[in-house]
Amino acid sequence: MDTLEAIRQRRSVKNFDIRHQITQKEITTILEHAILSPTSYNIQNWRFVTITDQSIKNKLSELSHGQKQVSEASLIIILCADLNSWEKNPQRYWQNIPEEPRNALIESLQKSYRNKPQQQRDEAMRSCGMAAQTIMITAKSMGYDTCPMKGFDYDEVGNLIRLPDDHIITMMVVVGKATKAASPRGGQLPISDITFENHF
Amino acid sequence: MDTLEAIRQRRSVKNFDIRHQITQKEITTILEHAILSPTSYNIQNWRFVTITDQSIKNKLSELSHGQKQVSEASLIIILCADLNSWEKNPQRYWQNIPEEPRNALIESLQKSYRNKPQQQRDEAMRSCGMAAQTIMITAKSMGYDTCPMKGFDYDEVGNLIRLPDDHIITMMVVVGKATKAASPRGGQLPISDITFENHF
């Protein structure tokens, strides 16, 4: 599917065919494209938890105020981030480059995040936001629809997926075969209200 | 360009043709697709400041540790967010839907963000992350390359663009005609290190 077409057609769909099964190959295609999304310092701080088991999807729906797109979707991807990825064996992010520039990058990386919890959290949200959009348009181009979600019980979902202490959940994306088109857009702001030339 | 191809070909490019001028029509195409990116509650909290003026690009390059992709790019988009968009005339986000569900949405929206500065900031980063990836793959499909950036002097850039007090800058994306391909990927983590089935 054409890129601009996929962007235009992507909508937050709320009704999916619960009987549809996504294949492992399709899941792999989505994840392989998600991880091509950029991250600052190539830190690759996102972690993706995939769920296709119906009983877990039902549980996640309960933890999302009963929203049925969660139980009906073929795949749920819970986007998480490792807040401490900056200090865990960082040379792996640039293993293909020479030692000298690699060491400079490691020093700069650690200066950016050490003792800076807000920076670590911002990076989690930013990286996962970029990856989430990649997931949604990848899925769209494969004939799937999606819904990005942040309205759920983060603590309980964290328990369910055994979230490590130094990780956070940033959002979820559900993926499935639409049985009903999304409602028309609710109210787009005029482009002149949200874009500015040179300054506000 | 095919969607998956655009995602695979998007790389962070550091060398652009400073003589290339992007047209206003091309800038509009990029922005019109950016604003189709999803936001929680359709809050559309992103604000996009576009810069094509060479003297401002030079100044922004200085404020970005002298990184020359900033001065060489044809277009700089500074992604900002209005932290208080949740309380500013929120009925506009759902003007096309009936009053009763609209009022319920407004109540839920305000409960989500009122007196919750971390939630407001998370939403800024998440929304802008999704829009940034839309910008980058839209540009790629139009024959441009991009570089997402967060390493710059946020306070000074804020002064330059007259950032309102209740807005934040989340990141920048520079857009231009590549004169040199990106370096090979620095070190991709094995997919098994970052994806998990059902739980960590």
Angle, CA of A81, A85 and A87, to the nearest 5°: 155
What does the pLDDT read at residue B12?
Answer: 98
CA distance linking residue B70 with residue B59, whole number of Å: 9
Chain B residues inside the 8 Å CB shell of A184? 96
What does the pLDDT read at residue A138?
Answer: 98
Please give the order of strands across the beta sheet that includes A167-176: A145-149, A167-176, A75-82, A46-51, B195-197
Residue A41 falls in which region: left (phi positive, over 0), alpha (psi -120 to 50) or beta: left
Residue B103 belongs to what domain range?
3-182
Task: Say if CB A154 and CB A62 are below 8 A apart.
Answer: no
Over residues B59-75, mean pLDDT: 98
What does the pLDDT read at residue A108?
Answer: 96
- The DSSP code for B97 is S
Q: What percent of chain B has pLDDT over 70?
A: 100
Over residues B18-40, mean pLDDT: 98
Segment B161-190, tens digit of pLDDT: 999 999 999 999 999 999 999 999 999 999
Task: Say if CB B138 and CB A8 are below 8 A apart.
Answer: no
Chain A residues inside the 8 Å CB shell of B167? 200
Over residues B79-96, mean pLDDT: 97
CB contact (8 A) between residue B95 and residue A186: yes
Residue of A nearest to B32 (CA): A191
Task: Say if CB B149 and CB B171 are below 8 A apart.
Answer: yes
Q: Among candidates A151, A30, A189, which has minimal Cα distance to B123?
A: A151
Residue B109 belongs to some domain of the structure: yes
Q: What parts of chain A have a pLDDT lower than 70?
A: none
Residue A199 belongs to some domain of the structure: no
A120 phi, psi to nearest 5 deg: -65, -40
- Smallest CA–CA distance, residue B172 to chain A, in Å, is 12
CB contact (8 A) between residue B185 and residue A96: yes
Residue of A nearest to B149 (CA): A40
CATH assignment at residue A105? 3.40.109.10
CA distance linking residue B159 with residue B164, whole number of Å: 9
Q: Among candidates A28, A47, A58, A71, which has minimal Cα distance to A162?
A: A47
Q: How many residue contacts between A and B have a Cβ separation below 8 Å?
A: 244
CB contact (8 A) between residue B93 and residue A33: no
Please give the order of strands across the beta sheet that includes B75-82: A195-197, B46-51, B75-82, B167-176, B145-149
> B160 and chain A: CB distance < 8 Å anywhere?
yes
> B98 and chain A: CB distance < 8 Å anywhere?
no
Task: Say if CB B15 and CB B178 are below 8 A apart.
Answer: yes
What does the pLDDT read at residue A75?
Answer: 98
Of A3, A53, A171, the CB nearest to B141: A3
Residue B188 belongs to some domain of the structure: no
Ranges of beta strands (E only) in chain A are 46-51, 75-82, 145-149, 167-176, 195-197
- Smallest CA–CA distance, residue B3 to chain A, in Å, is 4
- Smallest CA–CA distance, residue B129 to chain A, in Å, is 4
> B95 and chain A: CB distance < 8 Å anywhere?
yes
Of B36, B97, B138, the CB nearest to A186: B97
Task: Say if CB B13 and CB B178 are below 8 A apart.
Answer: yes
Q: Among candidates B45, B25, B26, which has minimal Cα distance to B35?
A: B45
Residue B192 belongs to some domain of the structure: no
Give Cα B41 distance to the centre of its chain: 18
Token output for B77: 């988009």
Residue of B nearest to A109 (CA): B151
Residue B200 belongs to some domain of the structure: no
Under the banding of pLDDT at 50, 70 and 90, the label for residue B63 is very high
What does the pLDDT read at residue B189?
Answer: 97
Residue A118 CB contacts under 8 Å (≥ 6 apart), including other chains? B121
**Number of independent structural domains in chain A:** 1
- Smallest CA–CA distance, residue A80 to chain B, in Å, is 10
ipTM: 0.98
In terms of C-beta density within 10 A (0-12 exposed, 13-18 middle, 19 or more buried), how is residue A97 classed? middle
Q: How many CA atoms lie within 13 A of A32 on its CB side?
A: 9
Token output for A152: 């759920």
Task: Say if CB B123 and CB B45 are below 8 A apart.
Answer: yes
> A143 and chain B: CB distance < 8 Å anywhere?
no
> B170 and chain A: CB distance < 8 Å anywhere?
yes
Residue B126 belongs to some domain of the structure: yes
Residue A8 belongs to some domain of the structure: yes
Segment A4-61, tens digit of pLDDT: 999 999 999 999 999 999 999 999 999 999 999 999 999 999 999 999 999 999 999 9
CB contact (8 A) between residue A35 and residue B128: no
What does the pLDDT read at residue A44?
Answer: 98
- Give, for A6, the enclosing helix (H) or strand (E): helix A3-9
Mean pLDDT across chain B: 97
Mean pLDDT across chain A: 97
> B104 and chain A: CB distance < 8 Å anywhere?
no
